Amino acid sequence: MKLEELAGQCGEWLRGTGPESDIVISSRFRLARNLAQFPFIRRCGEQDRSAIERTICDRVGAVEEWSKLAYVDVARLPPVDRQFLVERQLISRELSEGEGPRGVAIDPQEKFSVMINEEDHLRIQVMHSGLDLQNAWDQINRIDDMIDERVTYAFHERLGYLTACPTNVGGGLRVSVMLHLPALVMTQQIERVFRSLQKINLAVRGLYGEGSQPRGDFYQISNQITLGRSESQLIEQVGKVVPMLIEYERRAREFLVRDNQKDLHDKVSRAYGILCTAQTISSAETMDLLSSVRMGVNLGLIEDIEIPTINRLFIHTQPAHLQKLRGGELDTADRNIERAQYLQRHLRKGNRGGAQQKN
Amino acid sequence: MDGPPPVQRVPEERLAMKCQKCEKPATFHITELTDPAGPLELHLCEDCAKTYLTQGAVEEPGPAMIGGALGKQVQVGQTAEELARLDQKVCPVCGISYYEFRQAGRLGCPHDYICFEPELEPLIVSIHGQSKHSGKVPRRGAARTDRQTDLIRLRREMKEAVEREEYEKASQLRDQIRNIETEY
């Protein structure tokens, strides 16, 4: 699999399908696992890291299901390609910026990936479009079983799966749901909602995980506690909270439509106007404006663009994606020009398509 | 570009609802997710909502993550002397000291959970609120992994022997490692 082939696609998490996909972007599960016969990554030299990579690839790579995956040697990847995989959420920033032998096995449909030698020896990730917790868990559980049959995981009778950081010990499971919450941001309710979530031990992060800026009004909600709660309890907890957040976002949108219709319509139209006509535009501004347009499309304020088109623009205008699509390296200033041209091409094309359909 | 936006119908009682803090119409409908007391509904006008929402800004941040939990342990836990002694404790398997763990926030090997158990226990409880795993277990169950732990120790000892140029010892260790490795 060539990364260039991935670049043209949208990837699973921005496909824009699945239940509640106007607000819920994706459901993601992550399992942290370690092999019992190696130290944790911090105490691993080059040799240990190579041995871990080899052990996993040799033992698990022989499975037929696994042979369909593309294994990417992240250590040998140029920085733009590593950034590309981070933008697609197939690897973490930690793996991208790490040291020594490390890699990722990627499912061609991008529904799951397995990182090797990140913070833990193994980080298994499953990502489904929309709100799809049970199916995503079933899938990651099967993958975990398949690996478990072939290696010996570090496990403690009382503490569960042992991880490099005590914050992940136990089930090693992170259940995350990514939501698009522009109306809660506009009505200034978002901080309040997040404080409530923190009180029940749910963490809120930006689009690209820990420490990232919340851009484009995308937020990830996930469990903080991994010990003493079973997988089904964690799924139930997140599964109960997300519909409430969807309801608040819908109510906030109703409020904006009802009481602030002119302002809302103005904000959406201006965002659309800038995206269609700007000559140079940053990634951050693009994401914020696309967020308004996305909500406008969902509320019927813009009629001639489809949500999957907007979703694709979110990812294709990221720095590494722009460069992969363009087929060459670009500095920040050139990227901003390229981005503006890319947006014009795709949004104006959308306009023409819409006009034709109406005729 | 498009016609008038679709205006959502709002239930009659919501339209008539007054702010709970003054006489103006309530336009913000806030539900607190506080558990286990159950959701708390608030209906406020724009001004009162703003006041209410900004008041919350001074509240406590979320639960302590690893850094915060470690800091708390240091504050509440031990005297400087005790802490210095604790910091020098070293895992016989991977060689990491408790001090190094405190600095990095990452453990060195699975055996650390056993050798630093008394120190880690309060930390784990402060992060997770409990200290007993519930949920999935590996297929082999909780079978002991002593042989695997031996491998981690032997490999480290071999590496150290090579560094000290004790090649005879290193080759003995190598044989031991190979013997265990061929077992599984």
By mean pLDDT, which of A71-85, A295-309, B14-28, B141-155 is the weakest? Answer: B14-28
Question: For B128, which of A45, A195, A228 is closest by C-beta distance?
Answer: A228
CA distances from A245 to A156, A178, B83, B147 (A): 36, 11, 44, 48
The per-residue pLDDT of chain A, averaged, comes to 91
What would the DSSP string read from start to end of B129-147?
S-----S---TTTT---HH
CA distances from A353 to A271, A275, A295, A359, B38 (A): 20, 17, 20, 10, 49
By mean pLDDT, which of A146-155, A287-296, B85-94 is the weakest? Answer: B85-94
Question: For A165, which of B1, B94, B105 is closest by C-beta distance?
Answer: B105
Sign of the dihedral defined by the CA atoms of residues A106, A166, B92, B132, in that order: negative
Chain A residues whose CB is inside 8 A of the B133 CB are 156, 158-161, 170-171, 227-228
Which DSSP letter does residue B57 get? Answer: G
Which residues lie closer than 8 Å to A136 by C-beta, 6 or more apart?
Answer: A27, A28, A29, A126, A127, A128
The residue type at A332: T
Flag whether residue A244 sits within 8 Å of chain B, measured between CB atoms. Answer: yes
Residue A40 distance to chain B (closest CA, Å): 5
Task: Tell which of A34, A47, A192, A297 to mutate to test the B interface (max B CBs under 10 Å).
Answer: A192
CB contact under 8 A, A230 and B135: yes
CA distance A195 to A189: 10
CA distance A353 to B60: 51
Helix-helix angle A332-358:A283-298, to 10 degrees:
20
Contact indicator for A146, A193 with CB cutoff of 8 Å: no
CB contact under 8 A, B107 and A42: yes
Question: For A156, which of B2, B113, B156 is closest by C-beta distance?
Answer: B113
Asked if pLDDT for residue A53 goes beyond 50, the answer is yes
Would you tell me which residues 278-337 of chain A have a C-beta closer than 8 angstroms to some C-beta of chain B?
299-304
Task: Quote ipTM for the complex.
Answer: 0.88
Closest CA to A106 of A246, A9, A215: A9
**Among all residues of chain B, which has the CA nearest to that of A227?**
B133
pLDDT digits (tens, 9 = 90+) for A153-196: 999 999 999 999 999 999 999 999 999 999 999 999 998 998 89
Flag whether residue A125 sits within 8 Å of chain B, measured between CB atoms. Answer: no
Which residues lie closer than 8 Å to B44 by C-beta, 6 or more apart?
Answer: B19, B20, B21, B26, B27, B28, B30, B52
CB contact under 8 A, A188 and B135: no
pLDDT digits (tens, 9 = 90+) for B50-104: 666 554 333 333 333 565 566 555 554 556 777 778 888 999 999 999 999 988 8
Flag whether residue A165 sits within 8 Å of chain B, measured between CB atoms. Answer: yes
Question: For B33, which of A119, A197, A255 is closest by C-beta distance?
Answer: A197
CA distance A329 to A324: 8
Residue A233 distance to chain B (closest CA, Å): 9
CA distance B86 to B99: 8
Chain A residues whose CB is inside 8 A of the B63 CB are 198, 201, 224
The residue-averaged pLDDT of B133-157 equals 89
Chain A residues whose CB is inside 8 A of the B117 CB are none
Flag whether residue A71 sits within 8 Å of chain B, measured between CB atoms. Answer: no
CA distances from B137 to A37, A155, A170, B149, B151 (A): 18, 8, 10, 19, 23
pLDDT digits (tens, 9 = 90+) for A32-44: 999 999 999 999 9
Flag whether residue B154 sits within 8 Å of chain A, measured between CB atoms. Answer: no
For residue A193, what are its two tokens?
Answer: 């909602």
Sign of the dihedral defined by the CA atoms of residues A49, A50, A51, A56, in that order: positive
Chain B residues whose CB is inside 8 A of the A269 CB are 1
pLDDT digits (tens, 9 = 90+) for A198-240: 889 999 887 766 555 678 999 999 999 999 999 999 999 999 9
Residues of chain A with pLDDT > 90, as a percent, come to 79
Asked if pLDDT for residue B2 goes beyond 80, the answer is no
CB atoms within 10 A of CB A316: 20
CA distance A249 to A270: 22
For residue A145, what are its two tokens?
Answer: 């079983």
CB contact under 8 A, A303 and B32: no
